[in-house]
Amino acid sequence: MLKTLESYELIQEQVAGELYAYYPLGEYVVLAPGICGGRPTFKYTRLETSVVLADIAAGYSIDEILQDFELSDLPRAAILEAIDLANQAFLQTTQNLLPLAV
């Protein structure tokens, strides 16, 4: 089950001489205040997970996506984690709606 934002610890690191603060949703997916409106991104990037998930929904393979974003050094495991987190969110949302569907 996904946690509420309050249950995540804000991590602060120095990256390239600048402070980078984020809430880790996983090893690769984070919420970074002030980055992309606080929407989920891949850690140390401004690449929103929703962009990659939309590409998958459009039929692109993980290999094609990795090739498109090769400059970001995005690992395959990051995309798999984003898919898993999206699946967890979907399942949690539908469970919350279940009484409405019965």
Q: pLDDT of 14-57, one tens digit each?
A: 999 999 999 999 999 999 999 999 999 999 999 999 999 999 99
Instruction: Supply the range of the domain harboring residue 41.
Output: 26-94
Query: What is the pLDDT, as a whole number, of residue 58?
Result: 98
Query: What is the pLDDT, as a whole number, of residue 44?
Result: 93
Q: Is residue 101 predicted with pLDDT exceeding 70?
A: no
> What is the number of domains present in the chain?
1
Query: What is the pLDDT, as a whole number, of residue 46?
Result: 93
Record the pTM.
Answer: 0.84
CATH of residue 75: 1.10.10.10
Q: Which percentage of the chain shows pLDDT scores above 90?
A: 75
Residues near 76 by Cβ (< 8 Å), separated by ≥ 6? 62, 66
The rounded distance, in Å, linking the Cα atoms of 20 and 44 is: 8
